[in-house]
A and B are shown apart, each in its own frame.
Chain A
């Protein structure tokens, strides 16, 4: 079990490092762009495109980390009052469901990437657009892995609770 937790925190470290890097780039580039546009009425052509895609990357990385910290938005009107085994069972069920949906979304986004590759579409000059969109399947894969780890952890809590 500790192996899974280690995998989870290893992934988190990797996601966090990327996230911090991307957000730093975004803050600097977005500001630079405003200055250029207002003071010199010009801007960097590729900056707007890069910024828009950074949102996509930051969003998926943030969502992946949020999974490990139970920060996804859900309706907790009912679960707030659940305790012990009922709570753990609900977690196993809902995380399993979440993982399954993420896998389906991963599959759909792979098809999307294949479509982009076939179309040879570019996002800016020579850069293929699937480079920019690669985080969609990547992000859903990360989300699925984190959810599956949560399933295992919740099951473990369930089994331990029974022994006690």
Chain B
């Protein structure tokens, strides 16, 4: 009976049924079979949906979409170009840094490739970077800021795994920088080989770019500094960011019109929030049921029969998560897979923050892996290139990210050191 239901639900999921209805169905059926009132699903939904930290999700998402719709991507690129353009391969660094900041703010929902990729790709090619490299770089950068504040993925992970979100943000700093740094070094090498002409550094250009973006420069400092310094909680940072971005883009830069554009951006961004919260709402009931039934414990015993060492477990975990990343988007993966994995990983004595970094890095790679990585499709649409061509262009980047993943996996200190040093709670 149970097997038939599970197979049917998986089939429906593969046919494209909204995931929240699949999870909802599973929760309803599980409660029904266990003779528990289905109201329990709603009680859990109410509990998770009114968690104080959840307020950060709509506020940050709105701010990110507003930034993407304004002219701030262009100002940010100009500023980064004035700062790094003089380095060999500097333009590629511009791509990495701006995309990382942007992805962190827009929650890796594909907005980065649409808003920034279209801007950056032509510049890369014009500046003599190889076409294939440029395409690969822009595509891979579409999800590269996932580990930095105020990434939606981190907030969601913290909620589901019951880990402090502020700690997660601090833990993500070094792994995130390692990822950006590795791709940066590679880009510099490619730039040097391709004889990309260097811009000369000019204080004048930097000054005018900085003046242009004067109102946006405080933003990353506010969010990142505020959270790392323990000045703000993630929720407070979200409140300040949403208000600040609204005032700056609408009333100071006047990029967007208050009555014509803002409501449109609000609705656009809240569709994503609604889709994520719909999954979160039904999943919480299912999760609690699974925990009550000690399913993770049973899974762990099953796993332990075959795997005894921590190292082997980590290898299997990575392989498993890469496959998950190929099949699922990051939000549903967090909601569905995290509750099952966290208890097992705890038994293998993997620190929750370390596990979070492993998980998120895997899912980040999943955005790029054929056959179904989201970034591949977005790039293919945006740059009008065949999927296969795009997939080939990201291979090197996937390779580099896999190396970084190995380092993140086997050097837990990378994820934990900063949290311990700063004493973030």
A interface residues (Cβ-Cβ under 8 A, vs B): 16, 19-20, 23-24, 26-28, 30-31, 33-34, 37-38, 48, 51-56, 58-67, 69, 71-80, 90-91, 93-94, 97-98, 101-102, 104-105, 107-109, 111-112, 115, 133, 136, 143
Contact = CB atoms under 8 A, between A and B. Distances in A.
A58 B15 CA distance: 28
A112 B270 contact: no
In the complex, which range does the number of interface residues on chain B fall in? 35 or more
Interface string B218-237: 00000000000000000110
28 contacts: A16-B263, A20-B266, A23-B58, A55-B50, A56-B49, A58-B270, A62-B272, A62-B277, A63-B20, A63-B277, A65-B267, A65-B270, A66-B278, A67-B18, A71-B271, A71-B272, A72-B278, A73-B276, A73-B329, A74-B16, A76-B16, A98-B17, A98-B18, A101-B25, A111-B37, A112-B42, A136-B45, A136-B46
Contacts of B18: 67, 72-74, 94, 98
Nearest to A87: B16
Contacts of B59: 26-27, 30
B49 A59 contact: yes
A34 B232 CA distance: 9
A30 B55 contact: yes
Contacts of A65: 267, 270-271, 274
Closest 6 CB pairs of A and B: A62-B274, A63-B274, A59-B277, A30-B239, A62-B270, A72-B18
Given A101-B24, A112-B39, A112-B43, A55 B263 contact: no
B290 interface: no
Question: Of A16, A34, A38, which is in contact with the most chain B CB atoms at under 10 Å from its CB?
Answer: A34
A52 B281 contact: no
B111 to A, nearest CB: 13
B16 A79 contact: yes
Given A55-B55, A75-B328, A108 B38 contact: yes
Given A48-B52, A112-B42, A94 B278 contact: no
Nearest to B62: A23
Contact of B238 (A30, A52, A78): A30
Given A31-B239, A79-B15, A94-B16, A112 B46 contact: yes
Question: Of B55, B62, B263, which is in contact with the most chain A CB atoms at under 10 Å from its CB?
Answer: B55
A59 B28 contact: no
Contacts of A61: 270, 274
Given A33-B239, A94-B12, A63 B278 contact: yes
A160 B236 CA distance: 53
B185 interface: no
Given A23-B58, A72-B20, A75-B327, A62 B275 contact: yes
Contacts of B277: 55, 59-60, 62-63
Contacts of A59: 49, 58, 273-274, 277-278, 281
A23 B60 CA distance: 12
Contacts of A109: 39, 42
B55 A26 contact: yes
Given A16-B263, A30-B55, A90-B16, 8 more contacts: A27-B62, A59-B58, A71-B271, A73-B19, A75-B19, A97-B25, A105-B282, A111-B39
